[in-house]
Amino acid sequence: MTSRQRQSMNRILSDICSHIGMEARYVVSNSRKERYVDARQAFCILAYYHGNTYEAIGEFLNRDHSSIMHLCNYKPMNADVVATVKSIKDFGEDNRLLQSVENKLMNNPDDQELREKLKELI
């Protein structure tokens, strides 16, 4: 991992932690508490969006790249994760990430609450 990647991920981690009021050590911990996993998922999505590879993010979090892929692509996102990602990332004209989040949530027909929350965010 380059020093530029590390600086980028440190900045993203700092933004997430200040936004949700959590210490960084909990985000990078091995804990499976829902609150920490949600913050970790938001971090992974934003870090990947900013051009970091799954491998680099995994190295930063001391995890395998496949764990990062799971958080970014397969783990269903709850409304808190969507809100965190949306509030930290200024989507502007480049709204690919927002569309990706929307598509993932809309493909989960069992979770009407998430659909409504996403509609509120948009």
H helix and E strand count, the chain: 8, 0
Domain residues of the chain, as ranges?
3-121
Contact yes or no for 1/59 (Cβ under 8 A):
yes
pLDDT value for 51: 85
Contact yes or no for 101/77 (Cβ under 8 A):
yes
Q: Which CATH class is domain 3-121?
A: mainly alpha
pLDDT reading at 32 higher than 50: yes
pLDDT reading at 101 higher than 80: no
- The average pLDDT across 101-113 equals 57
Q: Please write the tens of the pLDDT for every residue from 36-91.
A: 999 999 999 888 888 899 999 999 999 999 999 998 888 877 777 877 887 776 54
Q: Please write the tens of the pLDDT for every residue from 2-25.
A: 888 899 899 889 988 988 899 999
CA distances from 69 to 8, 34, 74, 96 (A): 19, 18, 7, 17
pLDDT reading at 119 higher than 80: no
pLDDT value for 60: 96
